[in-house]
Amino acid sequence: MPAGYIGRFAPSPSGPLHMGSLLTALASFLDARAAGGQWLLRIDDIDHQRCRPQWSTHIQETLQRYGFRWDGPALVQSQRLPLYQQYLQQLREAGYLYACTCSRSQRTAQHTAQRVYAGVCRNRGLPFTSTCSWRLRLDDTAQWVSDLRLGTQQFLLPECSGDIILRRRDGAIAYHLATVVDDALCQVTHVLRGEDLWPETPVQLFLQGLCQFPSPQYLHVPLVTDTHGRKLSKQNHAQALPTHHTGPVVMQLLTRLGMVPEPDWQDLSPEQLLQQAVIHWDRSTLCRMINTQRR
């Protein structure tokens, strides 16, 4: 295990923690602690339309009830906006961005695949006003992405993400920029997160390259799905987690991560249960778990 492991869990406070997000928290916590590393908590709350402060409090309280302890105070993205602005300006000055005035309906009409913008405004040379969106000009090149579980794959950036928005027309900074900046400035070495974010990884690597940041190692964790095979999310009303008698839930999640918890672990306190899991953690079991992502 490399020295100086720094991991993180980065929930978006757009609803309560659910089984899926708790699984990611658990995987990233166990991997970090088993490596003797730090584990940071970051609140991804820059999307003010979706995020609420009360969910941020609720998420932190729930994590504590489940026995999680993080290093240092939680990092709150909404308090770091000037930092993201600074990198946004640098990218703009370096010529990597362009202004886009497409309306939402135009953008949809221009989609070549489900969500890829066709670059209508790419060569229009529009001025960077505060009321237009600012897009990243993506190279026509391939991006290699490595994942400890999914292996190494090549993605064609124009096909998988298109020219993404880094600054929305309402001024909001995009998730991609904030996450890349924070992972780098916090010197995160390992990102364990849900497999739903695997398709977002190539463009994040590309951005890391432009900002001259090192890339962390990635391990995308299989998603918790409902009985219909759909990813659990706030949108499909994933049940809120119990805040008492948390042992059985954690035991169930450990099994999902490929562990075989001893039955008597569930009588332990939340902290002790996590301690046992750290002692028995074996990343390679998780890495062998089947690929659930449909491509």
- 45 binds, options ligand GLU, Zn ion, none, Cβ within 5 to 8 A by partner type: none
SS3 label, residue 219? strand
- Stated as kind and residue range, the H or E segment containing 96 is none
Which of the 8 DSSP states describes residue 289? S
To ligand GLU, the closest distance from the beta carbon of 262 in angstroms equals: 30
- 44 binds, options ligand GLU, Zn ion, none, Cβ within 5 to 8 A by partner type: ligand GLU
To ligand GLU, the closest distance from the beta carbon of 23 in angstroms equals: 12
Binding site for ligand GLU (CB under 6 A): 10-12, 44, 179, 193, 197
- 162 binds, options Zn ion, ligand GLU, none, Cβ within 5 to 8 A by partner type: none
Site string for Zn ion, 97-136 (x = CB under 5 A): ---x-x-----------------xx---------------
Q: Rounded to an integer, what distance in angstroms lies between the CA atom of residue 138 and that of residue 96?
A: 8
- 179 binds, options Zn ion, ligand GLU, none, Cβ within 5 to 8 A by partner type: ligand GLU
Cβ atoms of 26 and 250 within 8 Å: the answer is: yes
CA atoms 280, 284, 286, 288: torsion sign: negative
Which of the 8 DSSP states describes residue 240? P
Nearer to Zn ion, 7 or 162 (CB): 162
CA atoms 294, 45, 189, 287: torsion sign: negative
Residue with tokens 């009985």: 227
- 100 binds, options Zn ion, ligand GLU, none, Cβ within 5 to 8 A by partner type: Zn ion
To ligand GLU, the closest distance from the beta carbon of 265 in angstroms equals: 27
- 12 binds, options ligand GLU, Zn ion, none, Cβ within 5 to 8 A by partner type: ligand GLU
Query: From residue 25, how far is each of 93, 106, 132, 232, 251 by CA, in Å?
Result: 37, 38, 36, 15, 14
To ligand GLU, the closest distance from the beta carbon of 45 in angstroms equals: 9
- 132 binds, options Zn ion, ligand GLU, none, Cβ within 5 to 8 A by partner type: none
One-letter identity of residue 35? A
> Quick one: how far is CA 47 from the chain centroid?
14
To ligand GLU, the closest distance from the beta carbon of 139 in angstroms equals: 22
Nearer to ligand GLU, 23 or 121 (CB): 23
Nearer to ligand GLU, 135 or 193 (CB): 193
Alpha helices (runs of H) in the chain, residue ranges in sequence order: 19-34, 53-65, 81-93, 104-109, 157-160, 175-185, 201-210, 247-256, 270-280, 283-287
Q: Rounded to an integer, what distance in angstroms lies between the CA atom of residue 279 and that of residue 63?
A: 20
Nearer to ligand GLU, 197 or 268 (CB): 197
To ligand GLU, the closest distance from the beta carbon of 275 in angstroms equals: 24
Interface residues with Zn ion (CB under 5 A) are 100, 102, 120-121
